[in-house]
């Protein structure tokens, strides 16, 4: 169980999300269904088909995750140093929940691309 949970925090997690999207042909419902049925995200690290759009999606994911982690760390530090109410707990929540948030936020640029066709 712990291994499955820790696979969400792997540096390859964004690649796994892109792989799931490609495997489901960028269909939102099938992607979300498979996403919530997947237990071990370390098993889905097959090679992805790279294109300009895939590189954009990976950059979007990595930048978003990094910004969210920095915001979480910042809130924890501010909560400790400046006694900001809820800063520590909200910062911890940002850090723990980023895999769930970004597995869904990846659908925003995918839907924008589909709607522009």
Residues listed for the chain: 117
Q: Which two tokens stand for residue 1?
A: 């169980």
Q: What is the mean pLDDT of residues 71-95?
A: 92
In the three-class reduction of DSSP (H, G, I as helix; E, B as strand; rest coil), residue 83 is classed as coil
Tell me what the pLDDT averaged over the chain comes to: 84
pLDDT of amino acid 83? 84
Residue 102 has pLDDT above 80, yes or no: yes
C-alpha to C-alpha distance for 107 and 13, rounded to whole angstroms: 15
CB 18 within 8 A of CB 54: yes
Q: What is the mean pLDDT of residues 85-113?
A: 89
Q: Confidence band (pLDDT; 50, 70, 90) for 6?
A: low
pLDDT of amino acid 61? 93
C-alpha to C-alpha distance for 117 and 109, rounded to whole angstroms: 13
Q: What is the mean pLDDT of residues 52-81?
A: 93
C-alpha to C-alpha distance for 77 and 13, rounded to whole angstroms: 26
pLDDT of amino acid 43? 63
Q: Which two tokens stand for residue 51?
A: 């294109």
Neighbour count for residue 92 (Cβ, 10 Å): 14
Q: Confidence band (pLDDT; 50, 70, 90) for 48?
A: confident
Mean pLDDT is lowest, of 16-20, 39-43, 98-102, 104-108, for 39-43
């Amino acid at each position: 169980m712990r291994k499955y949970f820790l696979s969400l925090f792997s540096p390859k997690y964004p690649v796994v999300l892109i792989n799931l999207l490609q495997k489901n042909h960028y269909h939102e419902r099938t992607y979300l269904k498979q996403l919530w049925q997947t237990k071990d995200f370390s098993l889905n690290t097959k090679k992805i088909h790279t294109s300009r759009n895939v590189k954009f999606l990976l950059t979007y994911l990595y930048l978003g995750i990094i910004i969210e982690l920095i915001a979480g760390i910042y809130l924890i530090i501010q909560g400790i140093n400046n006694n900001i109410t809820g800063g520590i707990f909200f910062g911890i929540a940002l850090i723990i929940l980023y895999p769930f948030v970004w597995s869904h936020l990846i659908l925003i640029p995918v839907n924008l691309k589909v709607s522009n066709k």
